[in-house]
Amino acid sequence: MSTRPHALVTGGSRGIGAAICVALADAGHPILLNYRSNGAAAEEVKAAIEARGGEVRLCKFDVADPETAPAAVQALLDEGLEIGVLVNNAGIAKDESFPQMGWDAWQSVTRTTLDGFYNVTRPLVMPMCRKRWGRIINIASVSGVNGNKGQVNYSAAKAGLIGATKALAIELAKRKITVNAIAPGLVETDMIETAPVEMIVKMIPARRIGKPEEVASLAAWLASDGAAYVTGQCIVMSGGL
């Protein structure tokens, strides 16, 4: 049995979240792997972590739902689990030029990122304060730092998440809880299936897209004791883009 606190990773069933689950399990954290709908993908990640000797439990809920998401997190706490690491990774993109952007594309993207952050983070903050230890890691995007064409909704959501990161870091620093964001550039996952990758790669100084494992290794470092003095930061990982 591990002595590290549990790590809750939202959207842990695929892509970057799945890689973060593996990296945090390798660092000794029992994993609470959240996903919304793709149970088969979640089971695959669970099996991969268990094959490496890690502990993992699946937690199905929609982070954007203001009733079921906080209730699901509270139910885990009520079992007596110590959740010391939270990675707010769940996110969706619905790209459209702004004049074409319907209400659904606006609100589903902003709700998943911003309401998701609120719904899942808030129940965990007081228990972390009582323990005087915690790590909150928010997966933002370079689109939230620089803005991006066709992504007014996504850029707004991720910029908001970066603002929330900085503000919450100031509130929690004296309780030994760090709050940081990672802003990846293009990363090889299902999310970029329809992106013009060849064209974008020409603009990336590193001349390649990122790997989920690279984002995961930074997340694992931010969760480690060695990162205790880093808080309120948004670390861009984009191959120099």
Q: How far apart are CA 126 and CA 222, in angstroms?
A: 20
Total of chain residues touching ligand NAP, rule CB under 6 A: 30
**Does the protein bind ligand NAP through residue 223 (CB under 6 A)?**
no
Task: Choose between 148 and 224: whose C-beta lies nearer to ligand NAP.
Answer: 148
Q: Is residue 183 helix, strand or coil?
A: strand
Interface pick for ligand NAP out of 2, 28, 38, 102 (rule CB under 6 A): 38
106 binds ligand NAP (CB under 6 A): no
Which is nearer to ligand NAP, 60 or 175 (by Cβ)? Answer: 60
Q: Are 134 and 126 contacting, i.e. CB atoms less than 8 angstroms apart?
A: no
Can residue 117 be called a binding residue for ligand NAP (CB under 6 A)?
no
200 membership: H or E segment, kind and range: helix 197-201
- CA 128 to mean position of chain CA atoms: 18
Which range touches ligand NAP (CB under 6 A), out of 61-69, 71-79, 125-133, 226-234?
Answer: 61-69
CB of 88 to ligand NAP, least distance (A): 8
Pair 181, 217: CB distance under 8 Å: no
**Residues annotated catalytic, as ranges:** 154
Residue type for position 13? S
User: 15-26 vs 39-51: helix axis angle to the nearest 10?
Assistant: 30
Check residue 31 for interaction with ligand NAP (CB under 6 A).
no
Please report whether residue 33 would count as binding ligand NAP according to CB under 6 A: no
Q: What x-and-dash track marks residues 174-203 binding ligand NAP by CB under 6 A?
A: ----------x-xx-xxxx-----------
138 binds ligand NAP (CB under 6 A): no
Q: Does 218 bind ligand NAP (CB under 6 A)?
A: no
Looking at residue 204, its amino acid is: I
- Whether residue 66 contacts residue 125, with contact meaning beta carbons closer than 8 Å, is answered with no
Among 7, 8, 9, 16, binds ligand NAP (CB under 6 A): 16
173/192 with CB nearer ligand NAP:
192
Extract the runs of DSSP E, i.e. beta strands, from the chain: 6-9, 31-35, 56-60, 83-88, 134-139, 177-184, 234-237
Min dist CB 201 to ligand NAP, Å, is: 12
Part in contact with ligand NAP (CB under 6 A); list of ranges 28-36, 122-130, 167-175, 223-231? 28-36
Instruction: Tell me which DSSP letter residue 187 carries.
Output: B
Sort strands 31-35 and 6-9 into parallel, antiparallel or unpaired.
Answer: parallel
- CA end-to-end distance (rounded Å), the chain: 42
Binding site for ligand NAP (CB under 6 A): 10-11, 13-17, 34-38, 41, 62-64, 89-92, 112, 139, 141, 184, 186-187, 189-192
